[in-house]
Amino acid sequence: MTQHTDQWLHDQFQAQAQTIEPPADLHGRSVERAYTAKTRRRRIQGTLAVGVAAVVTGAIVIVSGSLSPATQPTPADLTPAPTSWTFDLYFTTGGGRAVDPTAKNPGGRWKLTSETVTVPNSGDQPLDIVNALVAHAPTVEAINGFNFSSNGQLPIAEVNSVTVAPKVITVDLDREVWDPYPTMDCICPPGDAVMQQLVWTLDTALDIELPVLLTINGEPARGIWFQRLDGPVSLEGDQGKKQEQSAEFDKPGIKTEVDPPAPSIDFGTTNAWFGRFHGAHVVVYAGDAGYERPETGKVIVFTYDDDRTNRLGYTRTVPGSGALKIVAIAKPIIELQDRSGARYELNLDTGTLR
Amino acid sequence: MSSGHEAEFSAFVAARSSALYRSAFFLTGGDRPAAQDLVQDSLAAAYIRWRSIRDPNAHEAFVRKIMVRAATRRWDKLRRTREDIGATPPEVPQPGHEEAVTSTWDLTQALSRLSPKQRAVIVLRYFHDMSETQIADALGCSTGAVKTHASRGIKALGLTLDGTPYAPTFREGP
């Protein structure tokens, strides 16, 4: 009986389908809407006006013999492709003691927050999106896990490719993003939230819900910022808040998968500064939390060679109030200030602090 | 997008838009304007990612997945609105045998009474002959959920035989 009814329903669909006549202009309208979709979406969302310039009409190459003359889009059907993309990039905010000092999770609650950007259209929107994410420094106080901080624009990796398949989006980077600070004993930002930056940015910008697989030169990445990855990562957080462009994560930024194990410390608000010094990339870190001895301020300087694969790191500790602010960098001098207003100068050339 | 990809996209639309429209027609419960919108919106969404889909054979599955998910979202909202205003459900035929069903039962009308996900499962199962696993992937849900939607959908279609709950069968996954 079941098999009989299965077949009967199947036949009903096939019979009914034969009676359905698609609208005559379906093809032309579909192509037109596809070419204008981004423009319309932006208008609806009330975000940014889209610059439209490049005329692609002449660039449309009709595959010879594959379309009948009646179904070929005419020049009037086609509108110019946008010269730029507008979408939201997601960054990690929150965390640290300042968010909730009474929370059991000393790392606080990490949240994603978004900023709208417009980038030139290279013809590969997924790649444009991820390239923007790794290159963009948020204007709000937030962590971009794909470049070292909110202040700098030194990407931790280059994007090889972004491939959207029916089941997964694959983001291939050119170097591992497991441990950007291998020589320091402070904790890293939350890798899970950083990964969600990528998932939320791609899924939202592409208006689709697909997991994201992170690969390094074609091989699955072992993780990101001490957060191990085991295959594609799906959108997390309250999806009901997706429209509000905010997601919360309860997970702390503390991970224990560090070899050797990291001490039990917090990661707090930090600012990193970047520059070039004696041919090397220089990253300077300072902050008032996230250190083994919070009563003592600490300046951490990392140097990287030009391809950023060999890293050196050393620290300079400043006894005092426990907070340091980088006032200025005039190579090779980094000028620092603590909460009391006392000034220090760290000489990167000699390693001296005075 | 390169002209080659645009040509490929245009060729795909020319070749498959009619088939996609028929799917959309069923997915929207026979609402022709909505079906046309659904096809066009889904193709537009697929277009911006066209270049990244390396396997040409995956294009239709990709568009269909977008379409099914869009349909379930869009029509779920409409259904809730309808329920909120307390509409009386239309009469559901109770066929005693297939001949009687054929004479009194309208597929499109019956589909319009289903929930969006029930309708999507039924359409994918009986129109596209997709397996339980494929349907679960297209809808982004578990195979158990697919079975539930299918079973309830069939029941809501009025296809119970002699008062016995109908259990749809699925072929093995791909």
Token pair in block for residue A41: 């979406």
- Average pLDDT on A49-66 reads 29
Looking at chain A, the whole-number percentage of residues with pLDDT higher than 90 is 4
Q: What is the ipTM of this complex?
A: 0.76
In this complex, do B11 and A67 lie within 8 Å of one another by their Cβ atoms? yes
Q: Which helix (H) or strand (E) holds B156?
A: helix B143-156
- Mean pLDDT is lowest, of A62-66, B56-60, B70-74, for A62-66
The CA distance from B128 to B19, in Å, is: 10
- Average pLDDT on B142-153 reads 86
Q: What pLDDT is stored for residue A179 in this prediction?
A: 60
The CA distance from A91 to A73, in Å, is: 41
In this complex, do B6 and A59 lie within 8 Å of one another by their Cβ atoms? yes
- Mean pLDDT is lowest, of A24-38, B32-46, B78-92, B98-112, for B78-92
Q: What pLDDT is stored for residue B165 in this prediction?
A: 42
B141–chain A Cβ distance below 8 A for any pair? no
Shortest Cα–Cα distance, A55 to chain B (Å): 12
Q: What pLDDT is stored for residue B57 in this prediction?
A: 77
Q: Mind listing the pLDDT tens digit for each residue in A142-184?
A: 677 776 543 445 667 789 999 887 778 999 998 877 765 543 3
With cut-offs at 50, 70 and 90, classify the pLDDT of residue A139: confident
The CA distance from A262 to A199, in Å, is: 28
In this complex, do B14 and A66 lie within 8 Å of one another by their Cβ atoms? yes
Q: Suggest the residue from A30, A42, A57, A77 to mutate for an interface test with chain B (most B CBs closer than 10 A).
A: A30
Q: Which helix (H) or strand (E) holds A93?
A: strand A84-94
Q: Which helix (H) or strand (E) holds A90?
A: strand A84-94
**One-letter identity of residue A52:** V
In this complex, do A33 and B41 lie within 8 Å of one another by their Cβ atoms? yes
Shortest Cα–Cα distance, A40 to chain B (Å): 11
- What size, in residues, is chain B? 174
Q: What pLDDT is stored for residue A267 in this prediction?
A: 25
Do B116 and B80 form a contact (C-beta atoms < 8 A)? no
pTM (2 decimals)?
0.40
User: Judging by beta carbons within 10 Å of its beta carbon (0-12, 13-18, 19+), is residue A206 exposed, middle or buried?
Assistant: buried
Token pair in block for residue A245: 């462009």
Q: Is the pLDDT of residue B129 over 80?
A: yes
With cut-offs at 50, 70 and 90, classify the pLDDT of residue A65: very low
Nearest neighbour of A34 by CB, restricted to B9, B32, B69? B9
Residue listed under structure tokens 């490719």? A161
Which residues are CB-neighbours of B18 under 8 A, at least 6 positions away? A22, A26
Q: What pLDDT is stored for residue A151 in this prediction?
A: 42
Q: Suggest the residue from A13, A35, A72 to mutate for an interface test with chain B (most B CBs closer than 10 A).
A: A13
Do A178 and A223 form a contact (C-beta atoms < 8 A)? yes
Q: What pLDDT is stored for residue A69 in this prediction?
A: 33
Token pair in block for residue A69: 């003359």
Q: Which of residues 55-84 of B touch A (CB under 8 A)?
A: 55, 58, 61-62, 65-66, 69
Strands across the sheet with A212-216, in order?
Answer: A159-164, A169-173, A212-216, A219-220
Distance of CA A238 to CAs A91, A192, A201, A248, A252, Å?
A: 16, 15, 15, 7, 17
The CA distance from A48 to A36, in Å, is: 15
Q: What pLDDT is stored for residue B98 in this prediction?
A: 43
Phi, psi dihedral angles at A264 (to 5 degrees): -80, 90
Contacts of B12 in chain A (CB under 8 A): none
Q: Is the pLDDT of residue A48 over 60?
A: no
A141-A185-A89 Cα angle (round to 5): 25
More confident residue, B96 or A256: B96
Q: What pLDDT is stored for residue A274 in this prediction?
A: 46
In this complex, do A61 and B3 lie within 8 Å of one another by their Cβ atoms? yes
Do A253 and A267 form a contact (C-beta atoms < 8 A)? yes
- Mean pLDDT is lowest, of A112-116, A241-245, A312-316, A319-323, for A241-245
A245-B46-A36 Cα angle (round to 5): 80
- Average pLDDT on A266-285 reads 43
Count residue pairs from A and B with Cβ separation < 8 A.
Answer: 154
In this complex, do A26 and B17 lie within 8 Å of one another by their Cβ atoms? yes
More confident residue, B22 or A279: B22
Q: What pLDDT is stored for residue B24 in this prediction?
A: 92
Integer-rounded Cα radius of gyration of chain A:
26
Of A166-170, A243-247, A256-260, the range with the highest mean pLDDT is A166-170
Q: Provide the 8-state DSSP code for A352.
A: -
